[in-house]
Chain A
Amino acid sequence: KNEVEQSPQNLTAQEGEFITINCSYSVGISALHWLQQHPGGGIVSLFMLSSGKKKHGRLIATINIQEKHSSLHITASHPRDSAVYICAVRFGRDTDKLIFGTGTRLQVFP
């Protein structure tokens, strides 16, 4: 069964803290996505990666293919980072289907 597990489900932090959100999946994948969903519901694609590490501003995404695990890091967190962060994976190269985790709700307080 193809599954995507995220942890933690909820996360609170003080402004400036380093944040880590984890994603584990059950079988080999062709790509992993990190998405950000704002309180209004809109979703923004943050990263798509299949190996190694990607960085964009204060956001860093890493993936370990052997361990079937990815992490999303936020450095110097800010209240505007408060959102739900969603991990999604594609399990094959010939499919467009993404399997989504249930998300991690992050709240950053000033």
Chain B
Amino acid sequence: SQTIHQWPATLVQPVGSPLSLECTVEGTSNPNLYWYRQAAGRGLQLLFYSVGIGQISSEVPQNLSASRPQDRQFILSSKKLLLSDSGFYLCAWSVGTDQPQHFGDGTRLSIL
């Protein structure tokens, strides 16, 4: 069966520090991968999605970047975190466009 792993579960970082969140999927090949952010009191917002290795689509201009170095690995990064980067970050995968998406347990990021 397919599983998705996302870590860390919680993270507290100072303003200006770098960020790396990792997401891996097991049990499937060539999944579509997604990074979402849920700010306090707001709905989920798609940040990045990827349909293959090295293929990244950005939905929202921001302080973040994403990379897909391997088929089932998706990384969310920042060189210098801002206070506004605080939120709950979720990784998800699907077998293709217009298919159900399956979510990781999320990373709660607090910027101090």
Contact = CB atoms under 8 A, between A and B. Distances in A.
A41 B43 contact: no
B43 A96 contact: no
Given A40-B105, A41-B88, A88 B44 contact: yes
A91 B72 CA distance: 26
B43 A103 contact: yes
A40 B106 CA distance: 9
Nearest to B103: A43
Interface residues of B, number: 28
B34 interface: yes
Contacts of A97: 46, 49, 59
Contacts, number: 57
A93 B34 CA distance: 17
A3 to B, nearest CB: 11
Interface string A90-106: 10011111101111000
Contacts of B32: 96
A95 B45 contact: no
Interface string B87-107: 010101010011111111110
Contact of B101 (A33, A41, A94): A33
Contacts of B51: 96
Given A86-B43, A86-B44, A96-B34, A42 B106 contact: yes
B36 to A, nearest CB: 8
A98 B102 contact: no
A30 interface: yes
B94 to A, nearest CB: 8
Interface of A: 4, 30-31, 33, 35, 40-45, 48, 86, 88, 90, 93-98, 100-103
7 contacts: A31-B98, A41-B108, A43-B103, A48-B99, A86-B43, A88-B44, A100-B44
Interface of B: 32, 34, 38, 41-46, 49, 51, 57, 59, 88, 90, 92, 94, 97-106, 108
Among all A-B residue pairs, the 7 with the closest Cβ atoms: A43-B103, A100-B43, A100-B44, A41-B106, A102-B43, A42-B105, A48-B100
